[in-house]
Amino acid sequence: RYDAGPFLPPGGGLDAYREAAAGCEGCPLFERATQTVFGSGDESARIVLVGEQPGDQEDRQGEPFVGPAGKLLHRALTDAGLGEEPAYVTNAVKHFKWAPDERGKRRIHKPPTLRETHACYPWLDAELRLVSPDVIVALGATAGRALLGPSFRVTKDRGTPLPLSPTATPAQPDAHPPVVATLHPSAVLRATDRDTVYAALVTDLRTAAALLS
Ligand code: URA
Protein backbone atom coordinates (compact mmCIF):
# COMPACT_ATOMS: atom_id res chain seq x y z
CA ARG A 1 0.00 0.00 0.00
CA TYR A 2 1.24 3.52 -0.81
CA ASP A 3 1.43 5.56 2.40
CA ALA A 4 3.64 8.36 3.65
CA GLY A 5 2.41 7.70 7.21
CA PRO A 6 5.35 5.54 8.36
CA PHE A 7 7.79 8.30 7.29
CA LEU A 8 6.29 11.01 9.50
CA PRO A 9 8.39 12.10 12.49
CA PRO A 10 6.97 11.45 15.97
CA GLY A 11 6.50 15.20 16.51
CA GLY A 12 8.21 18.52 16.15
CA GLY A 13 7.65 21.60 14.03
CA LEU A 14 7.65 22.22 10.30
CA ASP A 15 11.43 21.82 10.11
CA ALA A 16 11.26 18.31 11.59
CA TYR A 17 8.57 17.37 9.09
CA ARG A 18 10.46 18.91 6.19
CA GLU A 19 13.56 16.95 7.11
CA ALA A 20 11.64 13.68 7.41
CA ALA A 21 9.77 14.29 4.14
CA ALA A 22 13.11 14.52 2.35
CA GLY A 23 13.44 10.75 2.87
CA CYS A 24 9.86 9.80 2.04
CA GLU A 25 9.44 6.63 -0.02
CA GLY A 26 5.74 6.24 0.71
CA CYS A 27 4.91 5.85 -3.00
CA PRO A 28 7.06 5.29 -6.11
CA LEU A 29 7.17 8.98 -7.13
CA PHE A 30 10.38 9.58 -5.13
CA GLU A 31 12.28 7.40 -7.62
CA ARG A 32 12.13 9.81 -10.54
CA ALA A 33 12.05 13.10 -8.68
CA THR A 34 15.17 15.10 -7.85
CA GLN A 35 14.01 15.81 -4.31
CA THR A 36 11.00 16.19 -2.05
CA VAL A 37 9.46 19.64 -2.35
CA PHE A 38 7.92 20.39 1.03
CA GLY A 39 5.78 23.43 1.78
CA SER A 40 7.35 26.78 2.38
CA GLY A 41 6.39 29.89 4.28
CA ASP A 42 5.45 31.17 7.66
CA GLU A 43 4.31 28.74 10.38
CA SER A 44 2.05 31.56 11.62
CA ALA A 45 0.48 32.24 8.20
CA ARG A 46 -3.29 32.80 8.19
CA ILE A 47 -3.63 31.38 4.67
CA VAL A 48 -2.36 28.09 3.22
CA LEU A 49 -2.30 27.62 -0.56
CA VAL A 50 -2.25 24.04 -1.84
CA GLY A 51 -1.16 23.19 -5.40
CA GLU A 52 -0.96 19.85 -7.19
CA GLN A 53 2.68 18.80 -7.18
CA PRO A 54 6.02 20.45 -7.87
CA GLY A 55 6.74 21.26 -11.51
CA ASP A 56 10.04 21.02 -13.35
CA GLN A 57 11.52 24.16 -11.78
CA GLU A 58 10.27 23.33 -8.31
CA ASP A 59 11.77 19.84 -8.58
CA ARG A 60 15.17 21.35 -9.41
CA GLN A 61 15.07 24.15 -6.84
CA GLY A 62 13.33 22.30 -4.00
CA GLU A 63 10.76 25.07 -3.41
CA PRO A 64 7.06 25.15 -4.32
CA PHE A 65 5.67 27.59 -6.90
CA VAL A 66 8.95 29.10 -8.09
CA GLY A 67 8.30 28.45 -11.82
CA PRO A 68 5.85 30.07 -14.29
CA ALA A 69 2.72 28.95 -12.36
CA GLY A 70 4.18 30.42 -9.18
CA LYS A 71 4.84 33.73 -10.88
CA LEU A 72 1.23 33.92 -12.01
CA LEU A 73 0.00 32.87 -8.56
CA HIS A 74 1.94 35.67 -6.89
CA ARG A 75 0.55 38.22 -9.30
CA ALA A 76 -2.98 36.95 -8.61
CA LEU A 77 -2.41 37.13 -4.83
CA THR A 78 -1.32 40.75 -5.20
CA ASP A 79 -4.35 41.55 -7.37
CA ALA A 80 -6.57 39.93 -4.73
CA GLY A 81 -5.14 42.22 -2.04
CA LEU A 82 -3.01 39.46 -0.50
CA GLY A 83 0.35 40.77 -1.67
CA GLU A 84 1.48 41.65 1.85
CA GLU A 85 -0.19 38.70 3.56
CA PRO A 86 2.25 36.01 4.76
CA ALA A 87 1.22 32.73 3.15
CA TYR A 88 2.24 29.11 3.52
CA VAL A 89 2.48 27.47 0.10
CA THR A 90 2.55 23.74 -0.48
CA ASN A 91 1.34 20.91 -2.73
CA ALA A 92 -0.97 17.92 -2.37
CA VAL A 93 1.85 15.71 -3.68
CA LYS A 94 5.45 16.40 -2.68
CA HIS A 95 7.32 14.78 -5.59
CA PHE A 96 7.36 15.79 -9.26
CA LYS A 97 5.68 13.12 -11.40
CA TRP A 98 6.91 13.12 -14.97
CA ALA A 99 7.75 11.04 -18.01
CA PRO A 100 10.29 11.79 -20.75
CA ASP A 101 8.98 13.09 -24.10
CA GLU A 102 9.50 11.00 -27.27
CA ARG A 103 12.95 12.45 -27.88
CA GLY A 104 13.92 11.88 -24.26
CA LYS A 105 14.85 15.55 -23.91
CA ARG A 106 12.07 17.09 -21.86
CA ARG A 107 10.35 16.05 -18.66
CA ILE A 108 6.60 16.01 -19.22
CA HIS A 109 4.38 16.58 -16.19
CA LYS A 110 1.99 13.73 -15.35
CA PRO A 111 -0.98 14.26 -13.04
CA PRO A 112 -0.76 12.26 -9.82
CA THR A 113 -3.31 9.48 -9.28
CA LEU A 114 -5.80 9.56 -6.41
CA ARG A 115 -3.80 6.74 -4.84
CA GLU A 116 -0.61 8.81 -4.89
CA THR A 117 -2.48 11.86 -3.61
CA HIS A 118 -3.94 9.88 -0.71
CA ALA A 119 -0.54 8.35 0.07
CA CYS A 120 0.95 11.85 0.38
CA TYR A 121 -1.92 13.29 2.45
CA PRO A 122 -0.27 12.70 5.88
CA TRP A 123 2.29 15.40 4.99
CA LEU A 124 -0.38 17.91 4.00
CA ASP A 125 -2.42 17.04 7.07
CA ALA A 126 0.63 17.70 9.29
CA GLU A 127 1.30 21.03 7.57
CA LEU A 128 -2.32 22.12 8.06
CA ARG A 129 -2.24 21.17 11.74
CA LEU A 130 1.07 22.95 12.38
CA VAL A 131 0.21 26.14 10.49
CA SER A 132 -3.46 26.09 11.56
CA PRO A 133 -4.57 28.81 9.13
CA ASP A 134 -7.87 30.71 8.94
CA VAL A 135 -8.44 29.57 5.37
CA ILE A 136 -7.09 26.97 2.94
CA VAL A 137 -7.02 27.59 -0.82
CA ALA A 138 -7.13 24.50 -3.04
CA LEU A 139 -5.55 25.29 -6.41
CA GLY A 140 -7.04 22.96 -9.03
CA ALA A 141 -8.53 19.47 -9.12
CA THR A 142 -5.80 17.47 -7.38
CA ALA A 143 -5.71 19.75 -4.32
CA GLY A 144 -9.52 19.91 -4.38
CA ARG A 145 -9.83 16.12 -4.36
CA ALA A 146 -7.23 15.82 -1.59
CA LEU A 147 -9.02 18.33 0.64
CA LEU A 148 -12.68 18.02 -0.34
CA GLY A 149 -13.02 14.41 -1.43
CA PRO A 150 -12.96 12.41 -4.69
CA SER A 151 -16.19 13.87 -6.11
CA PHE A 152 -14.68 17.37 -6.15
CA ARG A 153 -15.03 19.19 -9.50
CA VAL A 154 -13.46 22.61 -10.08
CA THR A 155 -16.33 23.87 -12.24
CA LYS A 156 -19.02 23.02 -9.68
CA ASP A 157 -17.15 23.57 -6.41
CA ARG A 158 -14.90 26.57 -6.92
CA GLY A 159 -15.30 29.95 -5.29
CA THR A 160 -17.33 29.15 -2.17
CA PRO A 161 -16.04 28.20 1.27
CA LEU A 162 -16.47 24.44 1.86
CA PRO A 163 -15.70 22.24 4.86
CA LEU A 164 -12.60 20.09 4.69
CA SER A 165 -13.58 16.52 3.80
CA PRO A 166 -14.06 14.34 6.89
CA THR A 167 -12.20 11.52 5.13
CA ALA A 168 -9.28 13.89 4.68
CA THR A 169 -9.13 14.60 8.42
CA PRO A 170 -10.26 11.63 10.49
CA ALA A 171 -8.81 13.01 13.74
CA GLN A 172 -10.31 16.44 14.40
CA PRO A 173 -12.46 17.76 11.55
CA ASP A 174 -13.94 20.57 13.67
CA ALA A 175 -10.56 22.16 14.24
CA HIS A 176 -10.10 22.81 10.55
CA PRO A 177 -10.69 26.02 8.61
CA PRO A 178 -12.82 26.33 5.47
CA VAL A 179 -11.44 25.48 2.05
CA VAL A 180 -11.91 27.77 -0.95
CA ALA A 181 -11.16 25.91 -4.16
CA THR A 182 -10.19 27.66 -7.33
CA LEU A 183 -8.50 27.07 -10.68
CA HIS A 184 -4.91 26.01 -10.86
CA PRO A 185 -2.61 28.84 -12.02
CA SER A 186 -1.32 26.49 -14.77
CA ALA A 187 -4.88 26.30 -16.11
CA VAL A 188 -4.79 30.08 -16.50
CA LEU A 189 -1.50 29.82 -18.41
CA ARG A 190 -3.03 27.19 -20.75
CA ALA A 191 -6.38 28.94 -21.27
CA THR A 192 -7.22 30.64 -24.55
CA ASP A 193 -9.45 33.14 -22.71
CA ARG A 194 -6.67 33.85 -20.29
CA ASP A 195 -8.03 37.17 -18.95
CA THR A 196 -11.40 35.65 -18.01
CA VAL A 197 -9.84 32.65 -16.30
CA TYR A 198 -7.31 34.84 -14.50
CA ALA A 199 -10.14 37.08 -13.26
CA ALA A 200 -11.93 34.01 -11.85
CA LEU A 201 -8.79 33.02 -9.95
CA VAL A 202 -8.47 36.53 -8.48
CA THR A 203 -12.18 36.56 -7.52
CA ASP A 204 -11.80 33.26 -5.64
CA LEU A 205 -8.66 34.49 -3.88
CA ARG A 206 -10.65 37.55 -2.75
CA THR A 207 -13.30 35.19 -1.35
CA ALA A 208 -10.53 33.47 0.62
CA ALA A 209 -9.10 36.83 1.75
CA ALA A 210 -12.49 37.80 3.20
CA LEU A 211 -12.30 34.77 5.52
CA LEU A 212 -9.14 35.97 7.26
CA SER A 213 -9.87 36.93 10.84
N1 URA B 1 2.30 23.69 -9.89
C2 URA B 1 1.92 23.23 -8.68
O3 URA B 1 0.84 22.72 -8.49
N4 URA B 1 2.76 23.36 -7.68
C5 URA B 1 3.95 23.92 -7.79
O6 URA B 1 4.67 23.99 -6.80
C7 URA B 1 4.33 24.39 -9.06
C8 URA B 1 3.48 24.27 -10.10
- Measured in angstroms, how far is the CA atom of residue 66 from the centroid of ligand 1? 8
For the CA of 140, the nearest atom of ligand 1: 3
Q: Where are the beta strands (DSSP E) in the chain?
A: 40-41, 47-51, 87-91, 98-100, 107-109, 135-139, 161-162, 179-182
What distance in Å separates the CA atoms of residue 193 and residue 191, rounded to the nearest whole number? Answer: 5
What distance in Å separates the CA atoms of residue 69 and residue 53, rounded to the nearest whole number? Answer: 11
ipTM over 0.90: yes
Q: Does the 5-209 domain belong in CATH 3.40.640.10?
A: no
Question: 57, 58, 89: which to mutate for ligand 1, most atoms within 8 A of CB?
Answer: 58
For the beta sheet containing 47-51, the strands, ordered from the edge strand earlier in sequence to the opposite edge, are: 40-41, 87-91, 47-51, 135-139, 179-182, 161-162
For the CA of 57, the nearest atom of ligand 1: 7
pLDDT one digit per residue (tens) for the chain, 213 residues = 999 999 999 999 999 999 999 999 999 999 999 999 999 999 999 999 999 999 999 999 999 999 999 999 999 999 999 999 999 999 999 999 999 999 999 999 999 999 999 999 999 999 999 999 999 999 999 999 999 999 999 999 999 999 998 666 545 545 679 999 999 999 999 999 999 999 999 999 999 999 998
